[in-house]
Amino acid sequence: MIDFTNKPLFLAPMAGFSDLPFRNVVKKFGADVTISEMISSNALVYESSKTLHMLERSELEKPYIVQIAGGDKEILKKAVEILNEMDFIDGIDFNCGCPVNKVVKQCAGSALLNDLELFKTLVGVIKQTNKKKLTSVKFRLGFNEKYPEKMATICENLGVDFISIHGRTRKQLYSGKSDYNSIGFAKASVKIPVIANGDIDANNALEVYNITKCDGLMIGRASIGNPWIFYEIKHNKKVEEKLKKEIILTHFEEMLKHYQNQAVSIFRKHLHEYSKGHKEASAFRDEINRINDAKEMIKKIDSFF
């Protein structure tokens, strides 16, 4: 299912970015495992059509993991039962890392690191209910302090297949540096595969492996505007500008297929990222903000990149 002997590269779940078109693009250029955007168990159980649209996967996505979040035992159980009925899903990941206030206030995401008894109960419910081949958990180093080995041990004892650890506490949000030594400490405390996450890019990937001794890497924010990062890590070489342009155009085509009329406006945020570091980038961003026609957008991308 996932070959951990080959140090797989994962795309991290990112709200508003790791949608189906983006996951399709990174799969074409070196990502081994893709995970859906974080899905609220509440939204899934009370079935909004938007949530079901977010669950769709592309042909290339094998294996494909859906990440759910929540703090209520019964609702999480129902959410997993709904996912069990969807045969295109290979695994379920439980989010215990999201630091956003809105999520934490619902006693979900990284709030669970403040209550390890509840963490244990909810991970147990997901593991027992899940009929998919894979159950995984993503968490941070802790809430205010660092104690990743505690969560790692709980997950291992409950039969979780692998864990992903973001190298910051909830308190840090996204400030400061990711602490790879602490991930390495957690890795040494368990036998299940551990995936390192946080501030990983093509320049430090090897160093992260060396420090953490982890079984794979999970790339998040560094892939936005840079989906070829997986190729660069795997092949240890830069992607040529010509191929980058091809990737950007492919990404836009995928967006048009998935979002139809909304694609042009949604893709602007990606183009803002793709254009960073280019000459005349601010003028380009200004122009695309006013474009509403797909053909015109393709021409603009073609001439700028």
Q: CA 277 → CA 50, 234, 282, 296, distances in Å? A: 34, 23, 10, 23
Residue 47 has pLDDT above 80, yes or no: no
How confident is residue 197, by pLDDT bands cut at 50, 70 and 90?
very high
In degrees, to the nearest 5, what angle opens at C-alpha 77 toward C-alphas 76 and 82?
95
User: Residue 1 has what pLDDT?
Assistant: 86
pLDDT on residue 211: 98
State pLDDT tens for residues 202-218.
999 999 999 999 999 99
In the chain, the percentage of residues whose pLDDT exceeds 70 is 100
- pLDDT level of residue 162 (50, 70, 90 thresholds): very high
| pLDDT reported for residue 295 | 94
Question: In the structure, what pLDDT confidence band is assigned to residue 193 with cuts at 50, 70 and 90?
Answer: very high
Question: Sorting pLDDT into bands at 50, 70 and 90, what band is 16?
Answer: confident
pLDDT at 202: 93
Q: How far apart are CA 191 and CA 45, in angstroms?
A: 34
CA–CA separation, 58 and 201 (whole Å)? 25
Rounded to an integer, the average pLDDT of 51-75 is: 93
- Of 286, 287, 164, 160, the closest CA to residue 214 belongs to 164
Of the candidates 27, 17, 24, 11, the one whose C-alpha atom is nearest the C-alpha of residue 254 is 24
Span 179-184, mean pLDDT?
98
Residues 6+ away with beta carbon under 8 Å from 97: 109, 110, 138, 139, 140, 166
Options 96, 98, 155, 214, the catalytic residue: 98
96, 98, 136, 151, 287 from 118: Cα distances, Å? 11, 16, 17, 11, 50
More confident residue, 1 or 162: 162
At 141 the pLDDT is 98
How does pLDDT run across 108-127, given as a tens digit for each residue?
A: 999 999 999 999 999 999 99
Q: What is the pTM of this model?
A: 0.94
Residue carrying the six token digits 């864990």: 163
Percent of the chain surpassing pLDDT 90: 90
Q: Kindly tell me if the per-residue pLDDT of 250 is higher than 80.
A: yes
Asked whether the predicted pLDDT for residue 49 surpasses 80, the reply is no
Mean pLDDT of the chain: 95
pLDDT (average), residues 185-196:
98
- Across the range 138-166, mean pLDDT stands at 98
Would you call 98 a catalytic residue per the annotation? yes
Is 90 exceeded by the pLDDT of residue 299?
Answer: yes
Single-letter amino acid, residue 256 = L
